[in-house]
Structure 1
């Protein structure tokens, strides 16, 4: 953890320049304006400014320097023009208070850095880093927390390679806070385990439904008020050998977009209820995947509702499909996952003015040409 220092030039802090310039300015003005205008007592502002910009020792140094400068400048004048010792006490007290304020500020910064480090560790635990080409897929992701200090929320995504193909999961747990993170971690843990062992995508989907139900029951048993929590999700299955298709199970989530050289098209929408609500319609039966065409050179773009619900100052929603279609038509290379994610991320931030109403996840994957997933995978 490192404290972010303001006013840095070539890696070196120049925050001390501001209080030094203020001290020099006050001194020169007091001396040059004669006895009619005495502003040397304004020098009490110097340690106050240093407390906001500098470290503890720097602030203490300016507090001492302010007292010394006050005594020297005030002694230049005859007795009848001196400001006197009462104001010198003000400068001393001001320096002491500024030093104490700086210590409190630095302690708060260290605490904030510690909390951000915990949040970052939690995020990396839930949303684990994915190696390049993981599972035979080229991938890229961007996660933007609505709470910029928290850096973690209920959005989740992952890729799990296995002997029966590669599975991709993206979802959004209803609500915010640590309870949403806990639910996301539970779903990801199940996905990483069953996504490896299951012989078909329907089994993976069924286990995710059961896991969310178990998590809800556990929360209710503990008497927590998040027992009605659910999660929207989309589950994608890539077969071992590229046959021009993928399997999709959509649990009430925004439909993914297939982005390719021939344009942008949505995959099937959410015909299933969100995870955790499947018991409301028991007659619907187990979740079954839908096989859809997925041609060579196409990229799957999966997002959470932080993208589609992003609004500008006129309450106009972000046009995801339109923006992507125009960008890929102008530059076909935009379909590459990294460029596609960067395009959407910058577009959402620009459209919303940087004010996100919900956690936002952008995840893009595509099969690496010529790679047989089973041959690439190693247990």
Structure 2
């Protein structure tokens, strides 16, 4: 697998000038400073106490071969310094062996560190591949929709979680799904992948959005049955979600199905309005209602209005006092001050920055911000 250089946590990221590595400069400067101080202070300076640090510093920021070079240079510098003075200033074989052992241990430590970096790069590459599989990249104006999204994993190292979203164009219009699987870890990612796989198929083929909702509920139940048959403990997992439909033959209409999720906001030049809370239970719990999938609500969608969807990483973000992030109030205030913020890109950036600022950058849950609106007349048409 290829690893992007931008994702590589290499030791040289902060030690480059003009694209060239200068990781060798700090240990070299330290070695020269030690030699100069020892030369000018004679026996008053305990060179052994400092020269063993040089390969140690190189082990933290250089490669294995670079560390080995500095281990040899430290040994040579110590020998030259020890031989430069009369016999009463010489430290003897014991200190010489100490410098040798210190250099060897530094090389070993560097090799362990580099191996750990390579393993971390591999795991990060696996996580990125998983994320791209679950949250596939969306082309601009996909399905006749102008969209913007940001996904922030609470686990920075894992880089993937239980939030999911996708847009699926089809002959009956464009459908959109945003949701959040209960819990964390690979089990949540697995459930999200199962729901998205079903959505991509039925969202394309089914003419009725209610049928799409019913198939998603069935898929969640089937996934839980499979997990139970495997003997795993996360059999009670469920997912909150919002399913949207943009009919081809009704450009001023939005169809909405809410599965226990926070209802979307609609922002436009005329302000911000709230959609009513949904009546449906989360996916996987629909059997408790006993009445089939939740109803489809039809909402008027004026030209230029943007639908904003978020997961609970936004609505449940807390500040130092424990107060939740006031999403609706903040968006309303921002759009009133500058109607241009209602466009998908600026709106997503505003909510992302506001959430991170509110919680001080400490996300307690995976966070997704997704904004979408119908494209203008000059945009790319739907491929159907």
Normalising by structure 1, report the TM-score. 0.96
Per the alignment, residue 151 of structure 2 pairs with: 143
Alpha-carbon separation, structure 2, partners of 1:194 and 1:361:
23
Aligned to 1:166: 174
Corresponding position: 1:230 with 2:231: no
* 1:258 correspondence with 2:266: yes
Separation in structure 1 between the aligned mates of residue 246 and residue 66 of structure 2, nearest angstrom: 59
**Within-5 A mapping of 1:1-379:** 1=3, 2-4=8-10, 5=12, 6-282=14-290, 284-370=291-377, 376-378=381-383
* Structure 1 residue runs without a partner (length 5+): none
SS at match of 1:161: strand
331-340 or 157-166: bigger deviation: 331-340
Tell me, in whole angstroms, the C-alpha distance in 1 between the residues paired with 2:292 and 2:167.
Answer: 26
Shift of 1:325: 1.8
TM-score (norm 2): 0.95
SS in 1 for 2:179: strand
Aligned residues of 2:279 and 2:294 also touching (Cα < 8 A): no
Q: 1 CA distance for matches of 2:132 and 2:145? A: 20
Structure 2: gaps spanning 5 or more residues? none
The alpha carbon displacement at 1:275 in A equals 0.3
1:231-280 deviations in Å (ceiling 9; x for gaps): 00000111114442201000000111101111112212131000000111
Is 1:320–1:344's contact at 8 Å kept on the other side of the alignment? yes
Query: How many Å separate the matches in 1 of 2:346 and 2:40?
Result: 60
The offset of 1:50, in angstroms, is 0.5
Name segments (4+ residues, structure 1) moved above 4 Å: none
> What is the alpha-carbon root mean square deviation over aligned residues?
1.5
Post-superposition offset of 1:177: 0.9
Provide the rounded CA distance (Å) in 2 between the counterparts of 1:340 and 1:3.
31
Looking at structure 2, the residues matched to 73 and 217 of structure 1 have their Cα atoms a distance apart, in angstroms, of 74
